[in-house]
Amino acid sequence: MPSIYVPELSPDKRSITIAGEEYHHLVNVRRVKIGEIIKLNSGTGVIAEGKISELTKRSVVIELLELVEYPYPEKNFAIAFALLKNKHDELLIEKCTELGVSTFYPMITDFSVRIPSKNTVNRFRQIAVSAIKQCDNPWLPMINEPLPLTETIDKVLSERWDPVLCSEQKPPKRISNLSSNIKPCFIIGPEGGYSEKEFAFFIKKDILQISICPLITRAETAAIAAAAQFQLL
């Protein structure tokens, strides 16, 4: 059952009133009725089921029947990715959210083909919200503002992630070779790869480099594969 996003959902509530966009979806898209059971997702670790007890022209009141609190993932991971053309970065956000990524770091690289707009982060967040509603991921990932690659890596390090470069140079190490106590942020490059200057920066920072598979994948495929392989690990 797909859920609705209710960030104000918390364990101390017995009922909750839904208005705005989620109300529109319930009433005009799903066409819910009094007594129908609805699943709710806070995006902060709480998922609940409730029964529609009141339905008006502007709001829905839901009586909460069952509520489960989920701990923050012990083995969480992040993805830093270059902005991609043709909405491929939106696909990356959607699928990696479904695979449990905790944090996204959009990057601007030397060979990036797209620059961010004022709406970029908001659009990414909307996609992530839709993804957690669909797959019942109780934790909405954090999406940072796009930064140049060097600033992104510095931010990743300052926030105590272990950067792991998914490199097109086919290094011998794979995700299966990572230490069990690593807190990885997988770094995914643009369609055109990295510049020599950027590779020199990675070497200067002593960034671990791995291969996702024996082939050169599209950027969004690399991100999805990294997320899936780490979850399997």
Q: List the pLDDT tens digit at each of the 233 positions of the chain.
A: 689 999 999 999 999 998 988 888 888 888 889 999 999 999 999 999 999 999 988 899 999 999 999 999 989 999 999 999 988 999 999 999 999 999 999 999 999 888 899 899 999 999 999 999 999 999 999 999 999 999 999 999 999 999 999 998 888 999 999 988 899 999 999 988 899 999 999 999 999 999 998 888 899 999 999 999 999 88
Please state, in angstroms and rounded to a whole number, the distance separating the CA atoms of residues 39 and 25: 13
Please state, in angstroms and rounded to a whole number, the distance separating the CA atoms of residues 177 and 203: 19
Domain 78-232 has CATH 3.40.1280.10: yes
Domain coordinates of the chain in residue numbers? 3-69, 78-232
- pTM higher than the cut 0.85: yes
Domain 3-69, CATH homologous superfamily name and number? Hypothetical PUA domain-like; domain 1 (2.40.240.20)
Tell me the DSSP string of the chain: --EEE-TT--TT-SEEEE-HHHHHIIIIIS---TT-EEEEE-SBSEEEEEEEEEE-SS-EEEEEEEEEE-PPPTT--EEEEE--STTHHHHHHHHHHHTT--EEEEEE-TT-S----TTHHHHHHHHHHHHHHHHT-SBPPEEPPPEEHHHHHHHHHHTT-EEEEE-TT--S--GGGS-TT--EEEEE--TT---HHHHHHHHHTT-EEE-SSSS---HHHHHHHHHHHHHH-
